[in-house]
Amino acid sequence: LSFSRIFCLQCWFLTSPIRSSPAQESALKPFSDLPGNWKASWFNLYQFWKDDGFHNLHNIMVDKFKTFGPIYREKLGSYESVNIIDPRDAAILFKSEGLYPERFTVPPWIAYRNFRNKPCGVLLKKGDSWRQDRLALNKEAMSLKVTDNFIPLLNEVGEDFVKRMEMKVGSSPQDKWTTDLTHELFRFALESVCNVLYGSRLGLLQDFIDPEAQKFIDAITLMFNSTAPMLYIPPEFLRRINSKFWQDHVNAWDVIFMHADKCIQNIYQDLCLNQKRAKEYRGILCSLLIQNKMPIEDIKASITEMMAGGVDTTSITLQWALYELARTPHLQDQLRSEISAAKASSQGDVAKMMKSTPLLKATIKETLRLHPVAVTLQRYTTQEIVLQNYRIPANILVQVGLYAMFRDSRFFSKPLQFNPERWIKTEDSKYFRGLSFGFGPRQCLGRRIAEMEMQLFLIHMLEKFKIEIKRGVEVGTTFGLILIPDKPIYLTLRHHQSQQ
């Protein structure tokens, strides 16, 4: 089946109504009976701010599930939601999401686009406009026929990153290098996603970085940092009082759009001048321009969103993966053995090698469980549904508490233990538990890029280096729109060959 037909069949399945028997109907509780603090919305926001909720949202949610049970209702300022933790409730929510599933659209991002008269990309669109764009983009970013084209582009960046790390290790005393890799991984992730989107490199893996590229990197960080506080206070109000949050947010997005626009213009001009190269695969943008199935402004908007959203998310996940691998040397050895065997059997075919590394894939999945990028996964209800015996009306924002679910012993055995094999064992239930990239037609559009990027990165790093961390080092998590380490993670890289 084609990706678009699978997409349509999935939408048909998801729009099937969920019915209850008459006996069940009479036992249902009304929406107004939901537990939680949802009546004093602005006092709740004040208390949330007092409890450092802007940075501690994930832990606050864990505590609230312990207090109120598997479902609670909340209102913080202008932000109202129903929160659930049970995978079975997540299944009910997603199976009822309708033909045009709608998630939380991040008000400050919409406010910026309205303020600057910028079009929304597929991440922020709704309704039929979203669906048409998503179908076109799925073919270029999710289809298995196309995604194999990403492998050489991502592999090239991965190999260059490891060469850079080898140079750093080689020039350090005792043939080892201890550092916080945050900035290095950010540059790697941006270089990777841009190579897939634009089919060209930015040159971020060199000692000297173009000032414009550094400006873009700083803008991504500022955009995320300025978004979180504006989730709970109407952006329009912050714009009217000219709040620093609003100023920072506008300035950050201005730089992001300016940088993306420049990249897109360069590719478009190159395409016009080099028609003979049109048959080569030169990235997602080039493919979209050649096919001419989306308006150029819509293409630019979606590509900009993918570039902005594909950097922090991947680089932070890789940082957590290296952190967990440094704490489990035996797992590093198992992965090296798997990679070595896959490399030998694939005879140099990178795509085949990647398909023969189930433990490596499970390691990435386990990293995303223990250290999810997002605190929640949201949907607006399209019809009345029943969760935990409560009637939830249509048009209500329901959030699956991913961080809380992933660390709950009711759903994962020994949840604080880093154990990739839990995703390989067939006896363990995985029903609506693997939600790190979202679900259904609204799942992360850059999922295939991210999975391949992280898999190739770890293959190259583990082949070359032994990754270490000081004993007893514990790193927590803080919220900044996405979940990030609460302090620098200092890792030591040694040449793996020297250990043999």
Residue 480: beta bridge partners? 482
**Contact (CB, 8 A) for 231 and 106:** yes
Q: Is 263 annotated as a binding residue?
A: no
Burial class (CB in 10 A: 0-12, 13-18, 19+), 426: exposed
**Contact (CB, 8 A) for 126 and 380:** no
In angstroms, the CA 425 to CA 418 distance is: 14
Query: Running DSSP on this structure, what letter comes out for residue 373?
Result: S
Checking 333-338 for CB contacts under 8 A at 24+ apart, the result is 334/359, 335/359, 335/360, 335/363, 335/458, 335/462, 336/462, 336/463, 336/496
Residue 80: beta bridge partners? 75
In angstroms, the CA 184 to CA 97 distance is: 39
User: Which residue from 482, 414, 451, 461 is spatially nearest to 184, judged by alpha carbons?
Assistant: 461
| Pairing of β 79-84 and β 397-401 | parallel
**Contact (CB, 8 A) for 376 and 399:** yes
Residue 381 CB partners (closer than 8 Å, separation 6+): 93, 96, 392, 393, 394, 395, 396, 398
In angstroms, the CA 298 to CA 125 distance is: 10
* Residue-wise burial string across 299-335, b where 16 or more C-beta atoms lie within 10 A, e elsewhere: bbbbbbbbbbbbbbbbbbbbbbbbbbbbbbeebbebb
Residue 494 CB partners (closer than 8 Å, separation 6+): 169, 175, 176, 465, 466, 468
| Gyration radius from the chain CA atoms | 23
In angstroms, the CA 326 to CA 451 distance is: 20
In angstroms, the CA 13 to CA 9 distance is: 6
**Contact (CB, 8 A) for 226 and 39:** no
In angstroms, the CA 298 to CA 301 distance is: 5
The position carrying tokens 């998801």 is 14
Which residues sit in the known binding site for heme?
Answer: 444
Which residues sit in the known binding site?
Answer: 444
